[in-house]
Structure 1
Amino acid sequence: MAAGKGSRQWSNLPSDLIHLISTKLPDLSDRVRFRAVCKMWKSSVSVSDPSPCLPWFVSCDRDNTDEIVYYSLSAKKACKIHCPQQRNSFFHGTAGGFILSCQDSSPRSFSLFNPLTGLEISVPNPKEFGEFFVVSNPFQKDLVVIFGDAQDWDETFVSLIRPGDEAWVIGKLDMMLYERVCLWYDGMCYINEYGTPTSIGDATTRSVLSTVPPPPRETGPLSPRYMLKTCGEILLIFTHISCTYKFEEIYFTIYQLNKVGENYQWIKVRGIGDRMLFLDYIRSFALRASDFSGLRGNCIYFKKFDYGRLRMLLCRHDLETGTTEVLPNFSGDWSTWMIPNLSESN
C-alpha cells in the first residue's frame, strides 16, 4: 500500500534509531524477526550485537536424540532445533554461544557446537581426566573447565581452551575438589567444599592465597551449591531441598563475600535487588532485570524435578515473597543455560 500524504516509510527511519529500538528486544528470536522487516533494518542491526540478550534454557529431547529443545523466557515457549550430528552426545556446559559436547564413543570425541548456526569446532580430548564440568560464565568465549581426578579425587585441575586451540592449557591447583562449588573470575579460583572454609587460589601460581570461614551454621544441612560474581560482588548460594512423592520443594539462602579489615567473611543477604540469578546443575550467573522489558529482579530461575511425571520443570523463585512458580510450556531432561549466538565465526 502506498504511503499516505504526510506519512513516513518505516524503512526511512534513521539507522541509529533502528539500532536503538533493536537493543530493547530481549530475545534473539525477536531480533531475527526485526531484521526481516526490510533491507534497511537488516543492515542496521547485527545478530551478534553486544547489547543484553536473554539466555535460553537448552535441553536434550530424551525422546528424540536428534533434537535440542530451547526455552525462551520472553516468548514463554519452547522450540526444537534439529541437530542429527549431536546424536548420542553428552553436553557439559556452554560458553560464548557454544555447547561443549562429548560424543559417546571410544575414544571420546569433543567439540564446541553452535546449535543455531551448525558451526562445530573439534577440540582435543582431555584424556588425562575423568569427570569434568564447565564453570565459566556463558557470556565469555574462553571456556574454563575444572577437572577432578576420576580415580581418587585427590587432585584438582583448572584448564582453559578457546575455539581453535590445539591443546588444553592445564594447571594443577593446591586445592581439593569434592563438592563442585567453584568460581573462576579474573584469574582467581574460588572453591568451597561441603560448607567448609572457602579457598581462594591464584590460577597462575597454582597456590592458595587465603581462606574464608564458612557462614554460621543454620538449621539443617548447610552445603553450598553455587558461587557467582555479579555487580562487583561474590555470592554463595545454598539450596534447601524437601522432596515429596510428587515434587522437589526448593528454597534458597544467599551470602555475600565482604572484606572486614584484612579478612573476608560471608554475610547473609535477604535479597539481590535488580538482579536475576540463573542456575543449572552446577553453574550460575546473573543479569540485571532493568535491562529487559517485562522481567523483574530479586528472582532466581532454576529447575526442579517433577517426580509424578518424571520430568524437569523450569521455575522462578521470588526472594521477596518466598514463593515459587512453574514457568509454562517447558519440560526437559538434561538442561543448561546458553547465550544464543548467530555469528558464523567463533
Structure 2
Amino acid sequence: MASGEGSRQWSSLPSNLIHLISTKLPDLSDRVRIRSVCKMWKSSVSVSDPSPCLPWFVSCDMDRSDEIVYYSLSSKKTCKIHFPQQRNSYFLGTAGGFILSCQDSSSESISLFNPLTGLEISVPNPKEFEEFSVVSNPFQKDLLVILGNILDSDETFVGLIRPGDEAWVIRRLDMMLYEGVCLWYDGMCFINEYGTPTWTGDATTRSILSTVPPPPRDSRPMSPRYMLETCGQILLIFTHMTFIDKLEEIDFTIYQLNKVGGTYQWVKIRGIGDRMLFLDYVRSFALRASDFSGFRGNCIYFYKDDFKRLRLLLCRHDLETGTTEVLPNFSGKWSTWMIPNLSESN
C-alpha cells in the first residue's frame, strides 16, 4: 500500500458511519480523539449528540488550586485540567456540563464554567443568600436550582435562574431545613425533613398539594440525605454510618413514593434494578446501567472522606450483596459529579 493511501481510505469512510460509531463511544474523551483524526471526521461527529454519557467525578486538586482533577468511570483513569481562572474556588454543583463555583469560600463571586471548553458564564451575585448548594440535576441546562438559607433569617429558600437572567427568582419555603432534602421536578417541589411528613407543593404558587407520612424510623442512626426522580419515580435515600475498628462503614436504605390505598406512602425497596445512583455531598441522580457496556445496575456510586490521609475515596456500593468497594486512582476536594459537555453554550 503506497504512503498516504491508508489515510485517504480512512478519510473516505461514509460520514454517517463515523457519526454512528461516535454515538456508541461511552466516554467523551473518545469523541474528542475521533474528532482529531481529520477535518471530515470532525465535521461528522457532533459535540452535542444526546447519546448517553457516563458522568465524571470532578474535584479541585489537593495540592494545586488551579487544577481540576476528574475521574472517568469509562476509562477508569484520572486526568487533570489546568484552569487558573478557578484558583482558590470551590464547587457547589454542576448543570449541563458546567460547574457552579464560588471564589474564596464565599458567595461574593460565583460563576458557571466548562472545564473542557474554557467557557465561563457570569451568574448574578446572590448577596442575601448563604450556605447554598445546587439541587438541580447535572443534566439540566435550561434551569439552575439552588437550595439554601437567607442571611440573618431562619428561612430556607429555593433559588432559580435561567441562562441570561439578571436576577434570581426566589421561592421561600415555610420551613427550616436542618437535615432535610429538596427535589425540584416537573413543576413540583418535594421537601423532606427527617422524622416529619414530606411536603409536596406547586413550585410556582408554593401551595401545599399533599403531605406524605414519614417513613418508619430505623434502629440505626440515619438522615435523609438524598431525594431524586428516576424513571418517573421519586426515591428517598437514607445513609447510615457506623465505625468498625476505627473504619467508617456506610450503608443505605431506599424508599419509593407509591400510591397505596388512594394515598401516597414511602415504601421501602430492596433494590433499584437496572439503575445506577450517583451521590455527592447533597445531590443525586440516576442512569440506566444497560445504556453502558460493562456496567451493572443496583449500585450506588458515592464518595467519603479519608481523614487520616486527607483525601476522598470514590466508592461503589452493591445493594444486592451489601458490599462496598473503593474505586482506584482518585483524591481531591470540593468534589461533585459532572456530565461532560463540549458544547460552547449552556
**Which bracket does the TM-score occupy, shorter chain normalised?**
over 0.9
Q: Which amino acid is 1:118 matched to?
A: G
Q: Deviation per CA, 1:129-181, whole angstroms, max 9, x where unpaired?
A: 1111100010011111122234343x222211123221111122333322241
Three-state SS of the structure 1 residue aligned to 2:228 is: strand
Three-state SS of the structure 1 residue aligned to 2:342 is: coil
Distance 1:132 1:304 in 2: 20
Tell me: CA distance 1:262–1:203, structure 2 relative to 1, closer, same or farther (3 Å): same
The answer as to whether partners of 1:173 and 1:207 remain within 8 angstroms in 2 is: no
Distance 2:107 2:324 in 1: 43
- The corresponding residue for 1:62 is 62
- The corresponding residue for 1:208 is 208
Distance 2:180 2:158 in 1: 13
Tell me: CA distance 1:314–1:164, structure 2 relative to 1, closer, same or farther (3 Å): same
- The corresponding residue for 1:148 is 149
Aligned-pair identity (%): 82
Distance 1:120 1:73 in 2: 25
Q: How many residues align?
A: 343
**How far is 1:89 from its partner?**
1.4
Distance 2:15 2:243 in 1: 54
Distance 1:38 1:88 in 2: 38
The answer as to whether partners of 2:222 and 2:241 remain within 8 angstroms in 1 is: no
Tell me: CA distance 1:80–1:245, structure 2 relative to 1, closer, same or farther (3 Å): farther
Q: Which amino acid is 1:61 matched to?
A: D
**How far is 1:321 from its partner?**
1.2
- The corresponding residue for 2:42 is 42
Tell me: CA distance 1:269–1:35, structure 2 relative to 1, closer, same or farther (3 Å): same
The answer as to whether partners of 1:22 and 1:31 remain within 8 angstroms in 2 is: yes
Please state if 1:101 is matched with 2:140. Answer: no
Q: Deviation per CA, 1:195-224, whole angstroms, max 9, x where unpaired?
A: 321111211111221111111222222421
Three-state SS of the structure 2 residue aligned to 1:40 is: helix
Q: Residues 220-299 of structure 1: matches in 2 within 5 Å?
A: 220-244=220-244, 247-299=247-299
Q: Which amino acid is 2:146 matched to?
A: V
- The corresponding residue for 1:53 is 53
Q: Residues 1-346 of structure 1: matches in 2 within 5 Å?
A: 1-2=1-2, 9-104=9-104, 108-141=108-141, 142-153=143-154, 155-244=155-244, 247-346=247-346
Q: Which amino acid is 2:275 matched to?
A: R
The answer as to whether partners of 1:89 and 1:102 remain within 8 angstroms in 2 is: yes
Tell me: CA distance 1:124–1:326, structure 2 relative to 1, closer, same or farther (3 Å): same
Query: 261-270 or 12-21: which moved more?
Result: 12-21
Q: Which amino acid is 1:193 matched to?
A: E
The answer as to whether partners of 2:60 and 2:90 remain within 8 angstroms in 1 is: no
Q: Is there any run of 5+ residues in structure 2 with no aligned partner, and where?
A: none
Q: Which amino acid is 1:144 matched to?
A: V
**How far is 1:333 from its partner?**
1.8
Three-state SS of the structure 2 residue aligned to 1:136 is: coil
**How far is 1:112 from its partner?**
1.0
The answer as to whether partners of 1:245 and 1:308 remain within 8 angstroms in 2 is: no
Q: Deviation per CA, 1:292-344, whole angstroms, max 9, x where unpaired?
A: 11111111100012233121100111111111111111112221001111111
Three-state SS of the structure 1 residue aligned to 2:195 is: coil
Three-state SS of the structure 2 residue aligned to 1:9 is: helix
Distance 2:170 2:150 in 1: 13
Distance 1:49 1:310 in 2: 38
Distance 2:297 2:257 in 1: 20
Three-state SS of the structure 1 residue aligned to 2:29 is: helix
Q: Which amino acid is 1:167 matched to?
A: A
Tell me: CA distance 1:293–1:106, structure 2 relative to 1, closer, same or farther (3 Å): closer
**How far is 1:31 from its partner?**
0.8
Three-state SS of the structure 1 residue aligned to 2:11 is: helix
